[in-house]
Structure 1
Amino acid sequence: MTVFQTGRYSKYIRPISILIDLTIITVLSFFIFKELVSNMLVFVLYQYIGWGLIAFSTHFYDVYRFTTPIEIAAKMLRQEILFLLVVIAFFPFSPQVIFSQTAIIIFIMLAILLVTIFKFSLFFYLKEYRIITGSNYRSAVIIGFTEEAIRLKNLFETRKDYGYRFLGYFSDKKSGENITGKLTDLKPFIIENEVDEIYCSLNEVSNKYLKDLIDFADENNKTIKFIPDTKEIFSKNLKIDYYDFFPVLSLKQTMLNEPAIQVLKRTFDVVFSILIIVFVLSWLGPILAILIKLESKGPVFFTQGRPGLGENEFVCYKFRSMRINKTTETEASKNDPRVTAIGRFMRKTSIDELPQFFNVLKGDMSVVGPRPHLWSQNKEYGNKVKKYMIRHCVKPGITGLAQVSGFRGEITIERDMINRIKFDVFYIENWSLILDLKIILQTVINIFKGDKKAY
C-alpha cells in the first residue's frame, strides 16, 4: 500500500469493533457466571440485545477520525453504566440463576477495562497508522475560498492524524494560483481524482447548483458537507423540527438549561466542596489565617460583591492577599505593591480562592464555570465585548475553561477580555461532566506548575 493509496477498509472497522466487544462479553460471561447461570446461552443473548440497544441509543460506535478522546471516554462511561444496569436486571427475573454482587462487579470491571483498552488502542493505532503510512486517508476538495474554508484546509494539513488529503479549492467568485478550478471543473475533477468528500461554503453556490451537487454526490457515492459562514450561529447545537412535513431548524438550549443536568451539576458541586472543606480547608485554613495575620493588619478573609447568576450580586470570599487599601475594584497587576508576601504565594498557587467553596455550598457559585468579574469590568465590557453577558446565564465558577487555557489574570487590552469570553461561551454551549473534570484536573496541575499570569 503506497502513500498515495486510499484506505478502503474503513467500513470494516466498526463491525470488527462490535465483534470484539461482544467476544469480550461472551468470554467473560462464561468464565465468571458459568456456576451462577444455568442457561448461559439465554444470558449471553440477553446481553447482546442489551448491549446493542444501548450502543444504538448512545451512538457508542459513532467514532470518527475527528472524534476526541474525551468524547470516546464519555461514550464509554454512558455505555458501561447502562450495561451494568441491564446485567443486574437479568437476575431478579430469572429464578434459575444465583445473584452474586462480587461476580457482577468483577465482570463489569473487567469488561470496562478490556473494552476501553481495545477501543483506545484501535483509535490511536489508526491515527498513528495514517501519519506513518499515509494510508486510510480521505481526499477532499473545498468549494469556496472564504476565511472558514482556508481554516479548514489548514486543519487538514496540520492534523495529519485526521487522515485527510486536500486536493484543491473550487470557486467562481475567486481566482488565482490558490484556486484549482471553476465550479464547472468540479465534477470531472472529483471523478478523475476519486475524491471522497466535498466541503461546500454555503455562500458560494446558488440553491439550484446546490441541489444539483447533492444529486451528483448521491449518484457517485460521495460525501458532501457544508461550511457555515455564520460560525457564531452554526457552532451551536441545532435541532430540526417538522411542522407537518415542513422542516424548521432552531438552536438548542445549552445542556446547562436542562433541569436534570442542573441537579447533576449541583450535586457534584456540593459533594466536591464538602470534600475540599473537610480534607483541605480544615487544616490549611488555620495555617494561612495565622500567616496572614502575622504579616499585615486586617481580616483573614476578603469579601467583595461580584455579579453572579442573572447578574445578581453575591458576596465572594477569598483569603486576603493584599494590604488593606481603597482600590479593591482594581485588578492586581504584576509586582503590585498591595500584594503581601504570603498573598503572592497564595495568588500564584490560587489557594486564595479556596474559601469560595463556601460560596459553592451556599449556591452562589459552581466549582467550574466562568470566573466572576469585578463590577467595574462588567460596566466597561458588558456592551463592548460580543456575548459578554451570556456568562451570566450560569453560575460563576471557582475555576473555568478560560483560566486553564491561559486567559486569566490582569486585563491589559480589550483582546484579553475577548479571548476570555470566547472560552466562557464555548464552555457554556459545550458543557459536559467530563469537561468539568478535565478543567479541575488542569487546575490542580497549574497549582503545582504555577501560572505566569497568576499575580
Structure 2
Amino acid sequence: MKVRFNKFWLVFLTAIDLVFVFSSLQIAYLLTFKTNEIEDYYLSFFLFYSIGWVVSSFFSHIARLQWDTDLKEILLMNLYGFIMHIIAVIGIVSLYDNLAFSYSFIFFAAVLTLLFTSSVRIVFFFVLENFSHKAQEHFNVVVYGVNEDMRNLRQYFIKNQDLGYKFSGIYGQADRAPDSMEFLGNFEALKSKLDSGAIDMIYITAPIETHSMKEWHEFSENCDRNCIHLGMSTKMSVLLDRKVKEVVNFGGVDIVLKRPLPLSNYSNVLAKRIFDIVFSSFVIFFIFPFILPIIALIIKLESPGPIFFKQLRPGKKNKLFKCYKFRTMRVNNVGALQASKNDPRITRFGAIMRKTSIDELPQFFNVLFGDMSVVGPRPNMVIQLEEFGKTIRSYSERHMVTPGITGYAQINGFRGETRADGAMEKRVQYDVEYMENWTLGLDVKIIFLTVYNMIRGEKNAY
C-alpha cells in the first residue's frame, strides 16, 4: 500500500522550489547582463516564470508523490514538469516581439532551474530515506488475536516497514496459535512485556482471555505508563472507557485508537522534526552568538559558578536527557526543589531571565540534538515523574511525544510552579489536548503566543 504525501509536504516542496527557481532567475540575469539591477519587465517575467513552474509541477504529478517513490521516478517527474514549463515559457515569450527577452538569459535560467530543483529532490529523497531507517527503531508493533484481522495487520506492517513499522510478533490464545515463530504467547505473556521497552504499539483484534474488565483497565493503564500506543479493531471498541475520536485503516482493518495521536504518524513526525531543525538552527546561528557573550558576562559578574545549568529530565518514553538552561540561581545543593515566588536562590539577573524566558534559549541545542522539540509538553523534573505518575492518571501519557521548550499548557497560564491544588492536573490536561490535536499550525500559534506573553510578562514566570 502506498501512502501519499500530506498537504504539508506539497506546500513545503513547492515553497523550496520557488526559492530556488527565483534564485535561478537572479543568477541567470547576473550571468547574462553582469548586473543586479533588474529591469521592470524582467521582474514581471520572474513572476510569470515562477508561477508557471508551480503549475507545471502539479501537472507533472508532484501531488502524486508517494513515500515509497524511488529516486529515478522522482527525477523523471521533475524532468517532465521542467520540459512542460520551458515549452510554455518559450511559446508565450515568442508572442511578445516588442519585449526583447534575452534567449541567453532564458537558457541560463532553464539550466539552473533543472539543476537546482533536481538537487532539492535528491536531498529530499535521502533525508526521507535516512529518517525512515531511524523511524524503524521506534515503532515496534505487536498484535493480540489470532484471526483474519491479525493476518491483514501483520501483512500491512511487514509490507510498510519504510513507514517506520517493525512487526514484532503475535499474542493470543495458545490453542489458536499459528504455526509461526512470530507467536509470542498469551495475554499474560503480553502483560509481562509491557515494562520491557520492546513494544511501541499494540493492536487488539480478539477478546482477551479473561472477561475481567478490571484486568483490562489495568492493562490499558499500564500501556499508558509505558508510553505504548493502544488500538483495537472496531468490534473490540466496547473496551474503551471514552468516546471514540478516531478510526484508522491498516490493511483493510478499521482500528479504533484509545487516544488519537497525530505525532504517531510518520509524515507528521518528519514535518515537526524538520520544522524544529530549521527553527532551532535560526535561533542558534542568528540570535545566540549576539546575546551569549553579554549574558555570560552578567552571570559571571553577579555570582560565581557556571554559565549553564544542566539537569536530567525525562523525555519521550521517559528516556532521561540533559536539559540545558542559563544559570539563574546561585550555586546550591537543592537543585531538585522547584523554584517558587521570591525564591532566595534566584539572582537579580536570573529573575529577569526567568521572567522573559531567556534562560530557556540553550534548550534550542536540545532541540537540534533531538531530545526536545520547539513545542511540546514541558519536561518536568525526575522527582515529579515519580510523584505525579502515581497520582495523575494521564500524567505518563504526556511522555508519548517529545517534550518542548514551550507548550499549550504554558500559553494557557500553566507555567512555572505547580504546587497549587489542581495546577499539575490542568497542565497535564492541556498537554494531552495538544497531543490529540497537534498540527504544524498549532505549533506556530503557540510560538507566537509564547513570544507575545514574553513581551507582555507573565505572573507565573519566576
TM score, norm. by length of structure 2? 0.50
* Shift in Å, 1:96: 5.4
| SS of residue in 1 equivalent to 2:444 | helix
Contact 1:295–1:340 under 8 Å retained in 2: yes
- Cα contact 2:244–2:256 (8 A) shared by 1: no
- Distance in 1, matches of 2:82 and 2:321, equals 51
What is the aligned length? 261
**Alpha-carbon displacement from aligned partner over 1:268-304 (angstroms, at most 9, x marks no partner):** 1111111101111111111111111111111111111
Change (3 A) 1:287 1:346: same
Inter-partner Cα distance in structure 1 for 2:266 and 2:352: 40
Deviation for aligned residue 1:407: 0.8
Structure 1 equivalent of residue 380 of structure 2: 373
CA contact under 8 A between 1:91 and 1:98: conserved in structure 2?
Answer: no
| Residue 256 (structure 2) aligns with | 250
- Secondary structure of the equivalent of 1:447? helix
The structural deviation recorded for 1:97 is: 2.0
Q: Secondary structure at the match of 1:367?
A: strand
Q: Deviations over 1:371-402 (max 9, x none)?
A: 00011111110021121111111111111111
Give 1:232 deviation, angstroms. 7.2
Select 1:270's aligned residue among 277, 282, 293: 277
**2:389 counterpart letter in structure 1:** G
Report the AA paired with residue 430 of structure 2: F
**Counterpart Cα distance in 2 of 1:98 and 1:231:** 58
Q: Contact 1:332–1:410 (CA<8 Å) still a contact in 2? A: yes
Aligned residue among 315, 329, 332 for 1:325: 332
Structure 1 residues 288 and 237: CA distance shift in structure 2, 3 A: same
CA distance in 1, matches of 2:395, 2:262: 19
Q: Deviations over 1:114-157 (max 9, x none)?
A: xxxxxxxxxxxxxxxxxxxxxxxxxxxxxxxxxxxxxxxxxxxx
Q: What secondary structure is seen at the aligned counterpart in 1 of 2:317?
A: helix
Q: Using a 3 Å threshold, how does the CA distance of structure 1 residues 32 and 392 change in structure 2: closer, same or farther?
A: same
Shift of the 324–264 alpha-carbon distance from structure 1 to 2, 3 Å rule, reads same
Match of 1:355 in 2: 362
Q: How does 1:50-69 map to 2 (within 5 A)?
A: none
AA partner of residue 290 (structure 1): L
Q: What root-mean-square deviation, in Å, do the aligned CA atoms of Structure 1 and Structure 2 show?
A: 3.9
After superposition, what is the alpha-carbon deviation per residue over 1:403-426, rounded to whole angstroms, capped at 9, x for unaligned? Answer: 111111111234101100011111
Give the aligned residue type for 1:312.
Answer: K
Contact 1:91 1:97 in 2 (8 A): no
Query: In the alignment, is residue 97 of structure 1 matched against residue 104 of structure 2?
Result: no
SS at structure 1 position matched to 2:413: coil
Instruction: For residue 343 of structure 2, give the secondary structure of its aligned residue in structure 1.
Output: coil
Specify the alignment match of 1:115 in structure 2: none
Match of 2:242 in 1: 233
State the SS of the aligned residue for 2:89.
coil
2:286 to 261, 274, 279: 279
CA distance in 1, matches of 2:344, 2:85: 73
Match of 2:307 in 1: 300
- Match for residue 449 of structure 2 among 418, 442, 447: 442
Give the Cα–Cα distance (whole angstroms) in 2 for the partners of residues 270 and 280 of structure 1. Answer: 15
Asked whether the 8 Å contact 2:315–2:403 carries over to 1, the reply is yes
Give the residue type in structure 2 aligned to 1:320.
R
Name the CA shift for 1:271/1:96 in 2 (closer, same or farther; >3 Å).
closer
Q: Do structure 1's residue 453 and structure 2's residue 460 form an aligned pair?
A: yes
CA distance in 1, matches of 2:78, 2:251: 37
Shift of the alpha carbon at 1:316? 0.6
Give the deviation of 1:326 after TM superposition. Answer: 1.4
Amino acid at match of 1:299: P
* Post-superposition offset of 1:438: 0.6
Q: Which amino acid aligns with 2:265?
A: E
Task: Tell me the SS of whatever aligns to 1:250.
Answer: strand
Written as runs of structure 1 = structure 2, the 5 A alignment for 1:11-90 is none
Conserved? CA contact 2:247–2:254, under 8 Å: no
The amino acid of 1:237's aligned partner reads E
Identity within the alignment, %? 45
The one-letter code of the counterpart of 1:426 is E
State the partner residue of 1:342: 349
Cα drift, residue 445 of structure 1? 0.7
Distance 1:294 1:250, change over 3 A: same
CA distance in 2, matches of 1:322, 1:349: 15
Q: Structure 2 regions of 5+ residues with no counterpart?
A: 1-43, 64-76, 91-105, 111-238
Following TM superposition, by how much is the alpha carbon of 1:248 offset from its aligned partner in structure 2, in angstroms? 5.3
Which residue in the other structure is 2:125 paired with? none
Closer/same/farther in 2, CA of residues 343 and 94 from structure 1, 3 Å limit:
closer
2:406 to 389, 393, 399: 399
Distance 1:242 1:414, change over 3 A: farther
> How far apart are the structure 2 equivalents of 1:387 and 1:396?
15
Distance 1:291 1:318 in 2: 15
Distance 1:235 1:383, change over 3 A: farther
Question: Is the Cα contact below 8 Å between 1:321 and 1:347 reproduced in 2?
Answer: yes
Aligned partner of 1:341: which letter? R
Residue 92 of structure 1 aligns with an amino acid whose one-letter code is: I
d(CA) in 2 for partners of 1:278 and 1:350?
Answer: 19
Deviation (angstroms), 1:95: 7.8
| 2:93 alignment counterpart | none
Contact 2:317 2:401 in 1 (8 A): yes
CA distance in 2, matches of 1:232, 1:453: 35
